[in-house]
Structure 1
């Protein structure tokens, strides 16, 4: 099944849900770097989380999840666009990573940042301490401390696939009484907490939801496709050189033997610029094609 996110609603309570499954895009991300298994799992979980969250925010632009720490994994970073394009990267110290290392062991003293970067409008960022045994716990804590709608996450990844489930309590509509709303919310969470990792990774959506909520009335909407996509380009690399100023850009070319290489950390695409390219940039800003002097 292609990568997807799929929304569902509880007909008799004020709760929405989202399911995400990633295989191809997750494989693309892992193929670019040789990650240790614990790092590959964390990165898969964060990819699934970003895919879940992009469905909760109605905007055009980019959602960025970034976890930083002082430990063996100083950086996890995932981006998901409103068009459903995903990319991600991790930084790690392999010699410090055990085969079964947990999130607290890999990322002590960490922080988790969620950034919403719309095409139009103001950029927003929220930051919370990376506290919890799992990334799902940390994301749940983020929503609890940011005074947003109560939201819970379940995430799993195994180096082959990544899956995620989100439940979110909606504003009062069907259930007006506070006690009744809370009981309904806790009931939905308690059932979701029975999911095993192998079930989340291995079952299709209809089977999974039936196993959890066969006594509830649910509406399952059409899946939305997701795919790997990188926003790097020769034009963006050119802008980075232009930002240095002509003298420094030309000096950089000379220092590197007549050619500057700009590599994308996410997809490993390489953009090459020689002296003629750099000169052309400062003449007219053109970056469409490399010069004919390339060897």
Structure 2
């Protein structure tokens, strides 16, 4: 039986470097099933899903991580969310007539910007921005960490419309290697080996085999995997709250403009939430969202 979607952490025992691997299949498939994406867009979205899962693995927080890439090109939006509980969802917007079958990141998202947002359930929200100036999403994310004065971090990402995989290496604070020269040499050695990975190897090998192929001369400790799944955070209650936030007068006006029924669509999972006059009246009377009136669901 195939291993479910997961991230898996590993450590090098003799140096101050940690790593994370991610494998997505079912959750990636759920995301792609919601919208008919061309192959280059599906690949970019898979890589961003893998990146979000890797980043959540490096952070100790309870909440949501959001990666959002925007451009004025053929793909104006890529957006992925991954929670600390391992729930993933994602979406892309694209202009079909501008998407070449062989296009890469630079062609699809020229002059793009990538925003990384960490939204904890408690505590301060953090946001960072980097230009999409690299040839790949992995290069752009690696550049972000290089520019942000955080611990050196490198990404390797691959997706083919069925599977999405990723590898992350991150330097740790000095403990085993104290000398800067030794630390730099160790980091260069490990990242150079990772650079030899092919897309076929990344997508086709299980984690233990992949690590052995790269680092069979290193002491590598592989930890238990953490599961990932596709799960959308939309709900009727959240849609109702959006209506309430408009205020009663505006909500009733919207209801009238829409012919007596407001329909709120979730862009991520295509779920529809319907509210008629009785529902809206109930909301503003303090009765909550409840079940849809009549037989709608």
Q: Is TM > 0.5 for Structure 1 vs Structure 2?
A: yes
**Structure 2: how far apart are the matches of 1:294 and 1:167?**
49
Secondary structure at the counterpart of residue 109 of structure 1:
coil
2: CA distance, partners of 1:82 / 1:92: 28
- State the secondary structure of the residue aligned to 2:89: strand
Secondary structure in structure 1 of the residue aligned to 2:169:
strand
- Report the equivalent of 2:210: 208
* Distance apart, 1:293 and its partner CA: 7.2
Q: Tell whether the 8 Å contact from 1:274 to 1:294 is kept in structure 2 after alignment.
A: no
1:106 aligns with 2:97: no
- Deviation track 1:219-263 (CA, whole Å, cap 9, x = no partner) reads 000000000011100011001111111111112112212111100
What does 1:44-59 correspond to in 2, within 5 Å?
44-59=46-61
Q: Deviations over 1:67-93 (max 9, x none)?
A: 111100011000000000000000100
Secondary structure of 1:209's counterpart equals: helix
Does the Cα contact within 8 Å between 1:104 and 1:132 map onto a contact in 2? yes
Normalized against structure 1, the TM-score is what?
Answer: 0.99
Q: Provide the alpha-carbon RMSD of the alignment.
A: 1.0
Output the CA distance in 2 between the equivalents of 1:224 and 1:187: 28
1:273 maps onto 2:275 in alignment: yes
Which residue among 182, 189, 192 is the counterpart of 1:190? 192
Aligned-partner Cα distance in 1 for 2:162–2:119: 29
Alignment of 1:1-40 (within 5 A): 1-40=3-42
- Does the aligned pair in 2 maintain the 1:276–1:293 contact within 8 Å? no
Measure, in 2, the Cα distance between the counterparts of 1:152 and 1:101.
Answer: 23
Q: Which runs of 5+ in 2 are unaligned?
A: none
From 234, 237, 260, give the equivalent of 2:236: 234
* Partner residue, 2:44: 42
Do the aligned partners of residues 294 and 266 (structure 1) sit closer, same or farther apart at CA in structure 2, a change above 3 Å counting? closer
Q: Shift of the alpha carbon at 1:204?
A: 0.3
Determine if contact 1:111/1:128 at 8 Å carries over to the other structure. Answer: yes
Q: Deviations over 1:28-60 (max 9, x none)?
A: 000000001000000000000000000000000
CA contact (8 A) 1:16 1:167 kept: yes
Instruction: Report the Cα distance in structure 2 between the residues aligned to 1:25 and 1:210, rounded to whole angstroms.
Output: 26
Match of 1:144 in 2: 146
> Are residue 261 (structure 1) and residue 263 (structure 2) matched?
yes
TM-score (norm 2): 0.98
The CA deviation at 1:294 is: 4.9
1:84 paired with 2:83, answer no
Alignment of 1:132 with 2:142, yes or no, is no
